[in-house]
Structure 1
């Protein structure tokens, strides 16, 4: 099994990177939609319904599959021999940041449910601040993997 994982390593890494890029794009864009939904649209009317549908499809059709693919290919990389040195700090800092990113993903999905039910309680400013969360986590992940501290 380890020979197979080693032989497909470049493909696994490429699919992991593509999945991460897709997931990050959605994690960056969805809070921006929430900002506009909050500040310009409100919680009723045709445009509210349009935004709710766009947010739902972004979360379910793009963000969720990208997250699942990221996790799948990431776990395959973890089990590929010689890729992860668990005695170093970097895999632990990356793992913690990925878990936080997954939690943020879940939080965004919950916020989408609050919009669709007409009960959003956050302001555009709060969504703008939360939009920085994936950026900070991405920095931790990239620096962990590239610098391998």
Structure 2
């Protein structure tokens, strides 16, 4: 497998970074959509239906496909470089699993909002909006700065 992936490694890496950017953009947008959704009117209103559609489309068109592509390309990069035994990779992998869990939690909250359930406050959603940024910053530091020390 390595002999197939190594020649296209730069393309795999470029695609991985591009789709990480798409995924992060969506993860930053979705909680803000939730805040605006909850503050824009009661469940069942016309604007409620508009926000439900926006959230669903963001998840369906950008977030979930980008996350899947990030995983496929990331695992391809791991295979090309044979880094599956490296400590830095295990840390990055765990953090990406947490980020994927956050994605799932946000998708589940979108379904709750669509059912008219508003279980989180605007303040809680604003705080939750910081999670992907923090995790992404830690991932970048692990891969760029700490990697030489954690191989």
When normalised by structure 2's length, the TM-score is 0.93
Alignment of 1:58-77 (within 5 A): 58-77=58-77
Unaligned runs of 5+ in 2: none
Unaligned runs of 5+ in 1: none
Measured after TM superposition, the shift of residue 6 of structure 1 is 0.6
Measured after TM superposition, the shift of residue 94 of structure 1 is 0.8
Counterpart-to-counterpart distance in 2, 1:138 and 1:75: 17
Cα deviations by residue, 1:22-57 (Å, 9 ceiling, x for unpaired)? 000000000000011112333221111000000000
Pick the aligned partner of 1:137 from 121, 135, 138: 135
Contact 1:32-1:131 at 8 Å conserved across structures: yes
Counterpart-to-counterpart distance in 2, 1:144 and 1:90: 6
Aligned to 1:55: 55
Counterpart-to-counterpart distance in 2, 1:95 and 1:124: 30
Contact 1:93-1:140 at 8 Å conserved across structures: no
State the secondary structure of the residue aligned to 1:42.
coil
Aligned to 1:94: 92
Counterpart-to-counterpart distance in 2, 1:60 and 1:100: 20
Pick the aligned partner of 1:109 from 107, 110, 117: 107
What root-mean-square deviation, in Å, do the aligned CA atoms of Structure 1 and Structure 2 show? Answer: 1.2
State the secondary structure of the residue aligned to 1:146.
helix
Aligned to 1:14: 14
2:82 is aligned with 1:78: no
Aligned to 2:123: 125
Contact 1:6-1:80 at 8 Å conserved across structures: yes
Cα deviations by residue, 1:90-134 (Å, 9 ceiling, x for unpaired)? 212111110000000000000000011111211100100111110
Give the total of aligned pairs.
147
When normalised by structure 1's length, the TM-score is 0.94
